[in-house]
């Protein structure tokens, strides 16, 4: 029963919803509550309290979910010091027809958040009764890091360097192992959504092995500003998925610790293109509004000394060999270092935090030369 007759009814309904939520959180079955008395003795016998009970499971078995519907579950990947489950949220849209299983993971680095609204919007727009195959998303793959607003796991470990993990390993290794084996193993394609790290900004770009026909096609369909040929680094989620036969790409969506509507919108268009190409949805692929740049390799330029850093070019802009790209001053304002581009290239990402230690990453430069090396890894962190 929904109350829409008057402002007073809305107030009563709001208070009743809060009491129903408390009942759920305290594990009191709502169907055993015959009525709720609120305010000045008013009794409400039933109400749409707007909160579904979401089950907690240990292993994602897609056969357990109904066709033509969107399902939501928590999947336990570990336990805390009190023995309570540490979980990740998983959303499943199971279509009415046969088709591939596409998985989307976000926030494997806990402060890289742009993938979250992308997933929310995707599942708001998806129509399971018109879907062929299954779409699975993990909006936050590193809930301990997310809760701490930090990149790494609860102990600071980079989860994207310990994949596929170990069942008998350290806490982050166990988490990685269970993420791979309890969730990712179900996928036939993987899109791993990231952003820049703290203190840096990124273009919208894709990291993919362009020598692999399937991942090359996925990268092109994503329609980013930049596509970077990058064979999967050891320990990454993308690399571990590729190693078990799951074509995978990494989509870098802008900047950390924020939601950027423009980047999210454009990245979502790319995801929709991939689903369309796989014949999972009826919509047609949309052409990119601008041409993307394909880089055969890339590298970072590092600071040689500490001080106050200023990086000059913007992301997704071209620089010429010998062009001034950054400078460092000491804390008293004297110039101590100037940096020039070693090559012609495009700015994939850059540092924006002025506080610069020796070895700080200054600028991520993409190189276009048409040659795709068999192994390409810029040591991206």
pLDDT in tens, 20-30: 555 544 444 44
Q: What is the mean pLDDT of residues 349-370?
A: 96
Rg (CA), the chain: 24
Looking at residue 380, what is its pLDDT? 52
Q: Residue 364: CB partners within 8 Å, gap ≥ 6? A: 298, 299, 300, 347, 348, 349, 350, 378, 380
pLDDT at 27: 47
Indicate the average pLDDT of the chain.
88
> Where residue 378 falls among pLDDT bands split at 50, 70, 90?
low
Asked which of 4-8, 90-94, 180-184 is least confident by mean pLDDT, the reply is 4-8
Q: How far is CA 56 from CA 72, 103, 187, 352, in A?
A: 9, 19, 20, 40
- Predicted local distance difference test score (pLDDT) of residue 42: 46
pLDDT band (50, 70, 90) for residue 284 = confident
Q: Report d(CA 153, CA 138) in Å as an integer.
A: 16
281 CB contacts (<8 Å, ≥6 apart)? 126, 127, 130, 131, 132, 272, 275
| DSSP per-residue codes, 295-354 | ESEEEEEE-SS-EEEEE-SPTT-EE-TT-EEEEEE-TTS-EEEEEE-SSSEEEEEEE--S
Residue range 134-182, pLDDT digits in tens? 999 999 999 999 999 999 999 999 999 999 999 999 999 999 999 999 9
Cα separations in angstroms, 152 against 54, 142, 145, 161, 293: 27, 8, 6, 10, 30
Whether pLDDT at 34 is above 70: no
Is 9 or 353 the better-scoring residue by pLDDT?
A: 353
Q: For residue 317, give the nearest of 201, 193, 196 by alpha carbon.
A: 201
**For the ranges 8-22, 50-64, 225-239, which has the lowest average pLDDT?**
8-22
Q: pLDDT at residue 50 above 60? A: no
State the average pLDDT over residues 47-57: 67
Please state, in angstroms and rounded to a whole number, the distance separating the CA atoms of residues 53 and 252: 33
Q: Considering the chain, what percentage of its residues have pLDDT values greater than 90?
A: 79
> Within 13 Å and on the Cβ side, how many CA atoms surround 105?
27
Q: pLDDT tens for residues 265-283?
A: 999 999 999 999 999 999 8
- In total, the chain counts a number of residues equal to 381
320 neighbors 341 (Cβ within 8 angstroms): yes
**Class of the CATH-defined domain 55-277:** alpha beta
Q: What is the dihedral of CA 106, 110, 116, 118, to 10 degrees?
A: -60
369's tokens: 């030369």
Please report, for the chain, the start and end positions of each structural domain, with discontinuous segments joined by +: 7-44, 55-277, 299-367
Residue 17, SS3 per DSSP:
helix
- Indicate the pLDDT class of residue 32, thresholds 50, 70 and 90: very low
Q: Which two tokens stand for residue 226?
A: 């930049």
Q: Measured at the alpha carbon of residue 326, what is the angle toward residues 321 and 332, in degrees to the nearest 5?
A: 150
The 10 Å CB-count burial string (b at 16+, else e) for 23-36 is beeeeeeeeeeeeb
- Strands of 199-323, DSSP E: 200-202, 204-208, 226-229, 248-253, 293-295, 297-302, 307-311, 318-319
What is the predicted pLDDT for the residue at 376? 58
Its CATH class, for the domain covering 299-367, is mainly beta
pLDDT at position 45 is 40
Other residues' Cβ atoms within 10 Å of the Cβ of residue 340: 13
């Amino acid at each position: 029963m929904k109350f829409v007759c008057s402002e007073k009814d809305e107030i009563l309904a709001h208070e009743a919803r809060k009491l129903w939520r408390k009942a759920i959180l305290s594990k009191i079955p709502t169907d055993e509550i015959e009525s709720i008395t609120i305010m000045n003795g008013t009794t409400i016998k039933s109400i749409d309290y707007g909160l579904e009970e979401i089950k907690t499971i240990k292993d994602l078995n897609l056969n357990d979910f109904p066709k033509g519907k969107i399902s939501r579950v928590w999947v336990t990947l570990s336990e805390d010091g009190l023995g309570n489950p540490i979980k990740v949220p998983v959303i499943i849209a199971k279509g009415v027809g046969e088709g591939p299983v596409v998985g989307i993971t976000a926030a494997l680095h806990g402060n890289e958040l742009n993938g979250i609204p992308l997933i929310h919007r995707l599942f708001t727009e998806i129509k399971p009764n018109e879907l062929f195959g299954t779409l699975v998303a993990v909006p936050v793959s590193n809930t301990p890091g997310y809760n701490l607003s930090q990149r790494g796991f609860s102990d600071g470990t980079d989860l994207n360097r310990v994949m596929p993990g170990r069942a008998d390993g350290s806490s982050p290794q166990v988490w990685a192992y269970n993420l791979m084996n309890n969730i990712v193993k179900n996928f036939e394609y993987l899109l791993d959504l990231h952003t820049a790290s703290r203190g840096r900004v990124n273009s919208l770009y894709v990291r993919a092995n362009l020598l692999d026909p399937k991942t090359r096609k996925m990268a092109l369909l994503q329609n980013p500003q930049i596509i970077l040929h990058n064979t999967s680094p050891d320990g990454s989620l993308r690399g571990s998925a590729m190693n078990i036969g799951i074509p995978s790409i990494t989509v870098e969506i802008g900047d950390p610790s924020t939601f950027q509507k423009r980047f999210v919108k454009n990245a979502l268009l790319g995801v929709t293109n991939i689903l369309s190409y796989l014949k999972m949805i009826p919509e047609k692929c949309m052409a990119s509004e601008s041409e993307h740049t394909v880089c055969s390799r890339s590298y970072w330029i590092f600071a040689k000394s500490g001080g106050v850093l200023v990086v000059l070019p913007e992301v997704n802009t071209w620089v010429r060999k010998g062009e001034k790209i950054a400078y460092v001053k000491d804390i008293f304002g004297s110039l101590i270092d100037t940096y020039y581009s070693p090559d012609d290239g495009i700015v994939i990402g850059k540092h924006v935090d002025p506080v610069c230690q020796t070895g700080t990453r200054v600028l991520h430069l993409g190189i276009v030369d048409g040659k795709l090396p068999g192994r390409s890894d810029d040591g991206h962190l």
